[in-house]
Structure 1
Amino acid sequence: MPDDPIAYTALQPGTPVETADGQQFATVRTVLVDEKVAVFDGIVVETAQGARFVDADQVGRIYTGRVCTTLTADQAAGLPAPDGSNLIDITPGRSVLGRMFGRRR
């Protein structure tokens, strides 16, 4: 059964993250939004090398069971560690107030 497309606000931690050719390289840790402009900024993923940041421009499509990126395997291996003091975690399950006033973990 194919996955259904979803909005980034419904993305769940633990969802597999794939390269452009469909190879899983990580799982979703958190979804990030730039609180200054209220725009999807990307996702923090958990890889074998630790937490890494996938920019919103590198996220191709989001489905219920996976995130498809536009990254090659080499690009995925070179992702930076997460950084962003103006970013907030909007991982589903947090309260609305937690999303509005929360801080990234």
Structure 2
Amino acid sequence: MTDEADPIAYTALQPGTPVQSSDGQPFGTVTAVLVVEEVSVFDGIVVETASGNRFVDADHVGTITTAYVRTTLSADEAADLPEPDDTAIYRADARDDTGNSMADRFGRAFGRGKWKRED
């Protein structure tokens, strides 16, 4: 068993995952994943910080793992992130137990819910 964090896709990213600057300093936690629904493209993440919710564009998301998200932003750049706009926000609910596919079953077994659009 290793303590290494495994890389994951943005679709498996869980709310509450710590978000770090490029030097590994934590500055918040994931609250939502943003997706451009019309073309199913990852747009970025909403991060809860001490200053409120902030938007990290997908271009600045460096590494997504099971334990953290590391951005390409310096600590100063992370402190100056903008608030999120009106892009569709998706939230995961690990209690969601619908579906019978193998992916659905593994998702339930490992507490990974499906991302659902927030209204």
TM tier relative to shorter chain: 0.7 to 0.9
Deviation at residue 36 of structure 1 after TM alignment: 1.9
For 2:74 and 2:16, how far apart are their aligned partners in 1? Answer: 21
The answer (yes or no) to whether the contact 1:12–1:28 under 8 Å persists in 2 is yes
Length-normalised TM-score, structure 1: 0.86
Alignment of 1:1-105 (within 5 A): 1-85=3-87, 87-89=88-90, 91-93=91-93, 99=116, 102-103=117-118
Count of residue pairs the alignment pairs up: 100
Over the aligned positions, Cα root-mean-square deviation in angstroms equals: 2.0
For 2:70 and 2:57, how far apart are their aligned partners in 1? Answer: 13
Give the fraction of aligned pairs with identical amino acids, expressed as a percent: 59
Return 5+ residue gaps in structure 2 as ranges: 100-113
**Structure index of larger Rg:** 2
Q: What stretches of structure 1 move > 4 A for 4+ residues in a row? A: 94-98
For 1:43 and 1:98, how far apart are their aligned partners in 2? Answer: 13
For 2:92 and 2:8, how far apart are their aligned partners in 1? Answer: 12
Deviation by residue 1:20-49 (Cα, 9 ceiling, x = unmatched):
000000100001101121100000000000
For 1:57 and 1:36, how far apart are their aligned partners in 2? Answer: 19
Q: Which amino acid aligns with 1:88?
A: I
Higher relative contact order (CA 8 A, sep 6+): 1
